[in-house]
Amino acid sequence: MTTSRAATRPGSGRRARLLRLFALPALPLLVLASMLTAPAGASAADTGKYGHARYDQWSWVTTHNAYAHNWVGAPVPPSQSRTIKEQLEGGVRALMLDTYNSSGTGPVRLCHTKFACYEDFKSALLTIVNFLQKNRQEVVTVFLENYADEDALGKTITDMLKAKDAENLLFNQNKYGIYYNNWPLLRDMVADNQRLVVFKDKGRDMAVGSGTLMNTWTHTVENKYGYGMGNAPTGCDARGESKPLNTKAMPDTKMTPLFTMNQFNSDAGNPQDLAAGHNGNALEKRIETCRGVAGRAPNFVAVNFFQESDTPGVNPVSVVAGLNKDGYLYPPDPAVWVVSGKQYRSTYGSNRCMVRGDEFPDGSGGLVTQRACADSVPSSHQWTATEPNYVGKGHFWIKAGNGSCLTVPYNNGTPPGDGTQLFWWPCETKWFSGSQLWNVIPVNLGAGGQDRGYYFINQWTGKCLTLDPSTSTAKAGKVTQASCPSH
């Protein structure tokens, strides 16, 4: 999205005289489209890509039968058309694998039934470890439907990790005490390099090297494939092995179960014939159905042929990215605000609210400042996001209690930069530079999205409405624009 700069505007002469004092060096006009499709979170330097989200508060694209990417002979069809390496590079972060070995003596292999085998588990695990060692912020989860001897399975994993000098990569649930502490923050898992999480569907939790193979059904809940007439995904009932989807904590623990949502038909003669129809709008609808049942979004969205869709711009990767945008937890930040009783309360300052400050001598407008929030909200503390009376293309005025609009200084037509103090000013009657137009981006401040905040992006400059930390203890500190939070 780009905007045109207006050469003149009503009152521009008077405004220029006042605002020339606040002019900053010229900055290029920012393009906002990418910011609005992937709103940012806490400072990347502080929190990494996951912010303050725990492992159970994030979502991942998950490939069903991830190993089955080609035909190995009739009648077993593939479930994917890309290799495990290509899946990981394409945005997949969880893999469903079936492990077998011959009479407990041969190497552990990945097979779709014992009659259709693809590659050794060791080879697939090497691909995953190589990816994780190259991409240090990523976490990969593996779900094993295991028919192999457990000792052989454990040895395969231990030997591979040791050979790659990655013995600490396997997640160790005991390190975090997940049964009585709940799942760890993802950023802590990244910092500790505990980024390979493995579940198995049979047997108890199993120590492998310095990590753990965790039992699927004591850590997760999962829906039935739920295919009705016409091979269309329907409903969201729990599988027989699973606890109810709305289970808040596993029995006798404080651990939130991870939620796997299956969105594929495992009985289709050729799954590829149905995958596109299941991975677009149908996927979005199924998630909403399951969200209503489980009370939260799925952690693992399991699909066939993950890259295919019948809906332009909608596919499993984009849908899961949208879930994480909604699920990201934002810490206190100078650009994140809570709206309470028409007060814009900063999440960063100690009880600091945005207020309409002193008027300019000629009565044309005034400064926007920050003060202590008020119990009884006066007009000077009141702000409302209001659609303009012209085509705002999804943007809002932020109107003060006196009807004026929150405004970025015009700066003789050059978008000003970080630290520019904002004004209140008469609202424009048509779109000029966009200096009074704001995108309103809701964000989550608490687990599960119960606590909501907002950040506000100016349409003209691409900067965010920001409390100035350096003046947050002053009687009338500054409210400025500055760079938006970065994910």
Angle at CA of residue 81, ends 75 and 84, nearest 5°: 110
CA atoms of 317 and 324, how far apart (whole Å) = 11
Which band of pLDDT confidence, cut at 50, 70 and 90, is reported for residue 15?
very low
Q: How many helices (H) and strands (E) does the chain have?
A: 12, 24
Name 238's bridge partners. Answer: 223
pLDDT in tens, 111-147: 988 778 899 999 999 999 999 999 999 999 999 999 9
Average pLDDT over residues 442-459: 78
Report the pLDDT value the prediction gives residue 27, as an integer from 0 to 100.
24
Report the pLDDT value the prediction gives residue 173, as an integer from 0 to 100.
97
Tell me what the pLDDT averaged over the chain comes to: 85
Whether 453 has a pLDDT exceeding 50, the answer reads yes
pLDDT in tens, 340-354: 889 999 999 779 999
**For the chain, what percent of residues have pLDDT higher than 90?**
64
Work out whether strand 196-200 and strand 211-215 pair parallel, antiparallel, or are unpaired.
parallel
CA atoms of 84 and 66, how far apart (whole Å) = 6
Q: What CATH number is given for 54-327 in this structure?
A: 3.20.20.190
Find the distance separating the first CA and the last CA of the chain, reported in whole Å.
20
Q: Which of the residue ranges 233-237, 291-295, 338-342 would you say has the lowest mean pLDDT?
A: 233-237
12-42+331-482: CATH architecture: Trefoil (2.80)
Residues with Cβ within 8 Å of residue 220, at least 6 apart in sequence = 199, 242, 257, 258, 259, 260, 300
Task: For residue 212, give the nearest of 144, 165, 164 by alpha carbon.
Answer: 144
Q: Which of the residue ranges 319-323, 431-435, 445-449, 468-472 would you say has the lowest mean pLDDT?
A: 445-449
Report the pLDDT value the prediction gives residue 18, as an integer from 0 to 100.
36
Which band of pLDDT confidence, cut at 50, 70 and 90, is reported for residue 486?
low
DSSP characters for 37-72? HS---S-HHHHGGGTT-BGGG--EEEETTTT--S--
Taking a C-beta distance cutoff of 8 angstroms, is the pair 56, 299 a contact? yes
Task: Give me Rg for the CA atoms of the chain.
Answer: 27
For 286, the enclosing helix (H) or strand (E) is helix 281-294
Count of C-beta atoms within a 10 Å radius of residue 269: 9
CA atoms of 428 and 33, how far apart (whole Å) = 24
> Best-predicted range by mean pLDDT among 11-25, 295-309, 322-336?
295-309
CA atoms of 43 and 54, how far apart (whole Å) = 17
**Which pairs from 264-270 meet CB under 8 Å and 24+ separation?**
264/64, 264/79, 264/225, 264/302, 264/303, 264/304, 265/225, 265/227, 265/231, 265/233, 265/304, 266/64, 266/225, 267/227, 268/77, 268/231, 269/77, 270/77
CA atoms of 149 and 101, how far apart (whole Å) = 7
Indicate the domain borders of the chain.
12-42+331-482, 54-327
Whether 44 has a pLDDT exceeding 50, the answer reads no
Report the pLDDT value the prediction gives residue 271, as an integer from 0 to 100.
84
Whether 84 has a pLDDT exceeding 50, the answer reads yes
pLDDT in tens, 22-41: 332 222 222 222 222 222 22
φ/ψ (deg, to 5) at 285: -65, -40
